């Protein structure tokens, strides 16, 4: 049996990247500064005391890391790159959480992991006109890494629209079968690559991988039974419908007219109409949830609408339903409070996406014989 591939998981949250990497990988170091996420990690991984560090990544010394890991995974905080955030970006200075992680890679030098995965929101590709993505690629290049990016929407695997960018960097020459066309070379990825200066373009890898099988579940299939959840009052549902624009109200009426049970996901958003900011509730009936977020405000928590027999009911997504939308197993231990559970979930990475990356790219890349081993 092949040895387990070792990895570091920075900004680990509840350990969702670890779950996705699977049994072929052994975690030798993980960290997160959030006490709730740290407690969730410990609750789900009995070996956490041996390798988990709770605290700021800037407080970690290089000698705290187990030597010579094969992989480093970093899902650094996304606020600087999110379309909804302040977008300070990498160019804003080296005090960001990302650079707290990256200084450790730099300090490890030749003992740094052969492969690094950096996961973030798609705003990373365009932040500051692409300057931040260029800065990231330059940092990777200075440490001897070649790199490429994939934009993967979790909707290919689980009924949640959750597009994310995965930058895969390696010091190894990838085998030919891992390079080529991919459905995840989106326009945003291609344009980000085209903005790179020539010396960074030369280090670009067009990562490939077999296209995932068609998803066979929809949002309705992951929900709790109607009798097991708390529904909003009729007055609350009417108030939600009143926030909808005519186009979204039409979707509700069309669902009622169909005579079928239909499940929709609703987000509250601020829109500009006639020069004024207006709060709107927007519904989708395409079988997908919108992107789960951390519940920092009332508009961040996703609402469900169920239309059946001419009746419209509404309720909030439950933590367990959120966990299913992230591809977490039923045995995954969530914080008891709904807000805490959704905080952990909303900041995580979709497990099936990581599993695909591990099976299609990371394991084949890391299992190939090195030049030194072949001699």
Question: What gap in Å lies between CA 54 and CA 60, rounded to an integer?
Answer: 10
Positions of CATH 3.40.50.150 in the chain: 5-212+346-374
| Closest listed residue to residue 104, CA positions, set 133, 134, 76, 146 | 76
Question: What gap in Å lies between CA 238 and CA 312, rounded to an integer?
Answer: 9
* pLDDT score for 295: 72
The H or E element containing residue 188 is: helix 187-194
DSSP string, 328-352: --TTPPPPSSHHHHHHHHHTS--HH
Burial class (CB in 10 A: 0-12, 13-18, 19+), 350: buried
Reading the chain (375 residues) residue by residue, the pLDDT tens digits are 578 999 999 999 999 999 999 999 999 999 999 999 999 999 999 999 999 999 999 999 999 997 789 999 999 775 555 333 444 555 444 447 888 899 999 999 999 999 999 999 998 999 888 888 998 999 999 999 999 999 999 999 999 999 999 999 999 999 999 999 999 999 999 999 999 999 999 999 999 989 999 999 999 999 999 999 999 999 999 999 999 999 999 999 999 999 999 999 998 888 999 899 999 999 999 999 999 988 764 446 789 999 999 999 999 999 999 999 999 999 999 999 999 999 999 999 999 999 999 999 999 999 987 644 333
DSSP secondary structure code for residue 361 in this structure = I
Q: Is 137 a catalytic residue?
A: no
162 neighbors 104 (Cβ within 8 angstroms): no
The H or E element containing residue 281 is: strand 276-284
Non-local CB neighbours of 117 within 8 Å, separated by 6+ positions: 71, 72, 73, 74, 166, 167, 168, 169, 357, 362
Q: How many CB atoms within 10 Å of residue 314?
A: 22
Question: What gap in Å lies between CA 11 and CA 76, rounded to an integer?
Answer: 6
CATH number attached to the domain at 5-212+346-374: 3.40.50.150
Predicted confidence (pLDDT) per residue in 266-284, tens digit: 988 889 998 999 999 999 9
β-pairing verdict for 163-170 and 115-120:
antiparallel
Non-local CB neighbours of 319 within 8 Å, separated by 6+ positions: 334, 335, 338, 341, 342, 345
* pLDDT score for 99: 83
Q: How far is CA 223 from the centre of its chain?
A: 21
Give me the helix-helix angle, 338-346 and 35-44, nearest 10°: 90
Residue of 27, 78, 137, 291 with catalytic role: 78
* pLDDT score for 87: 46
Task: Give the up-direction half-sphere exposure of residue 222: CA atoms within 13 A in the CB hemisphere.
Answer: 28
Non-local CB neighbours of 363 within 8 Å, separated by 6+ positions: 5, 24
pTM: 0.92
């Amino acid at each position: 049996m092949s040895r387990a591939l070792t990895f570091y998981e920075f900004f680990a949250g509840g350990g969702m990247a670890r779950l996705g990497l699977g049994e072929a990988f052994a975690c030798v170091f993980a960290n997160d500064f959030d006490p709730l996420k740290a407690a969730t990690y410990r609750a789900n991984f009995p070996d956490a005391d041996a390798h988990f560090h709770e605290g700021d990544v800037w407080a970690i010394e290089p000698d705290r890391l187990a030597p010579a890991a094969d992989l480093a995974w970093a899902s650094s905080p996304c606020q600087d790159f999110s379309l909804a955030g302040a977008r300070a970006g990498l160019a804003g200075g080296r005090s960001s959480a990302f650079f707290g992680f990256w200084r450790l890679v730099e300090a490890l030098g030749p003992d740094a992991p052969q492969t690094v995965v950096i996961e973030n929101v798609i705003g990373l590709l365009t932040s500051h006109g692409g300057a931040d993505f260029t800065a990231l690629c330059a940092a990777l290049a200075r440490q001897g890494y070649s790199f490429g990016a994939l934009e993967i929407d979790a909707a290919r695997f689980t009924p949640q629209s959750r597009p994310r960018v995965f930058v895969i960097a390696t010091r190894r020459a990838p085998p030919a079968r891992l390079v080529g066309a991919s459905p995840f070379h989106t326009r945003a990825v291609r344009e980000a690559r085209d903005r790179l200066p020539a010396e960074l373009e030369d280090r670009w890898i067009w990562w490939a991988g077999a296209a995932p099988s068609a998803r066979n579940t929809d949002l309705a299939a992951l929900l709790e039974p109607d009798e097991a959840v708390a529904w909003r009052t009729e007055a609350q549902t009417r108030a939600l419908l009143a926030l909808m624009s005519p186009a979204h109200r039409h979707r509700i009426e069309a669902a009622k007219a169909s005579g079928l049970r239909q499940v929709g996901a609703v987000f509250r958003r601020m829109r500009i109409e006639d020069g004024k900011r207006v709060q709107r509730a927007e519904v989708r009936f395409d079988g997908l949830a919108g992107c789960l977020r951390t519940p920092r405000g009332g508009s961040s928590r996703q609402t469900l609408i169920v239309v059946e027999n001419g009746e419209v009911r509404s309720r909030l997504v439950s933590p367990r339903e959120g966990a299913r939308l992230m591809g977490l197993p039923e045995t995954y231990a969530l914080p008891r409070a709904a807000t805490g559970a959704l905080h952990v979930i909303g900041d995580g990475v979709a497990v099936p996406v990581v599993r695909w990356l591990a099976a299609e790219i990371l394991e084949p890349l890391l299992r190939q014989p090195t030049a030194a081993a072949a001699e």
